[in-house]
Amino acid sequence: EPEVTQTPSHQVTQMGQEVILRCVPISNHLYFYWYRQILGQKVEFLVSFYNNEISEKSEIFDDQFSVERPDGSNFTLKIRSTKLEDSAMYFCASSNRVDGELFFGEGSRLTVL
């Protein structure tokens, strides 16, 4: 069964460092998303991406964040200069239509020290 894969599963970084989280969405999907879940809190929307551009972003997704689909298969989330409060589980999701049935990866846990 096709699945969304994410790497790394866990990354520890120092505050101020750049981090790139990678995702391989399901191959025929067109809509891509990043969510995050801070420990003990709800799953929060970060950004959606369609047709090679951001279609929507939340207030969390500030200038420190960027997304890219560099090669037609990977979908990356970059945090330019990490802060302690960026520590969270980051989930990538993809969908082949806009009715909201999203398929999620297993997440990348980011720990900022």
Partner 1 sequence: AQSVTQLGSHVSVSEGALVLLRCNYSSSVPPYLFWYVQYPNQGLQLLLKYTSAATLVKGINGFEAEFKKSETSFHLTKPSAHMSDAAEYFCAVSDLEGGKLIFGQGTELSVKP
Residues engaged in binding partner 1 (CB under 8 A) = 4, 31, 33, 35, 41-45, 48, 50, 55-56, 91, 93, 95, 97-107
Q: Which two tokens stand for residue 63?
A: 């200038």
In the bound complex, what is the minimum distance in angstroms from residue 81's beta carbon to partner 1? 26
Q: Measured from the CB atom, is 18 or 106 closer to partner 1? A: 106
Residue pair 104/3 in contact by the 8 Å Cβ criterion:
no
Residue closer to partner 1 (CB basis): 12 or 43: 43
3-state percent helix, strand, coil for the chain, nearest multiple of 5: 5, 50, 45
Q: Which is nearer to partner 1, 16 or 49 (CB)?
A: 49
Residue 2 backbone phi and psi in degrees, to 5: -60, 145
